Structure 1
Amino acid sequence: MKNKKNGIIDNLALAVAAACGPLGVKIEHVQLTPTGVVVPSLGVSVSAELVNNKRVWSATETFAVASLDGDDERMQVRTLFQEPLDKQWQLARRLALLAATRKIDAAIDEAIS
């Protein structure tokens, strides 16, 4: 995983794997991209972006939206949150909390259905 050119991205991947580890996300599940990481099991991508002249990590999710007639779907991207570029551990913590919340909600939904 170590890529000397992108040390900040490697650090982000390690932070995400550490924070999400208790939820079953291993370092092998965190995929590096040129500008960030993707965690397919969480359905989340994180990339470095420039927002209002500040470098931030932007966490996004992509999901399908069905058309009203039901014939096709279109993909939508939603920004979940952003953190300063030097706060990769804070971002990783927020990702872990988001994943845990989703797992808890899914368990409650299953229990009451």
Structure 2
Amino acid sequence: PYYYHFDVAMPGDEAGAFHSSDLWFSFGSLAKCWRPFVGWHYDLARRMGLYWTNFAANGDPNGTDRDGTPLPVWDPCIGEEYPAMHLCQEPGMRTDWLTETDRKAFGL
């Protein structure tokens, strides 16, 4: 299994990252939203779209960006550390994302 932690403070208000805020990124529809997204938001949306497409095609989200450079490696969520792809301005793997609330939710 692959797990991600979406961590983008949504521009335009103080709501932060909220349930479903990742959908504008997942579907590449940032330009259809009223929020003032900037360059790195579009970069993240492109990468997320590539991760989802790679996973659907190969069962593995890893691959290359449109310019041929490797996407940040996304490791499976296995083991005691529960690694997750931290989707933010600088995406990458993290193991320190679990809060106490997360641990209770996962039964850890």
TM-score relative to the length of structure 2: 0.25
TM-score relative to the length of structure 1: 0.24
Give the greater-gyration-radius structure (CA): 1
Name the structure with the higher strand share: 1
Structure number with the bigger relative contact order (C-alpha 8 A, sep ≥ 6) is 2
Name the structure with the higher helix share: 1
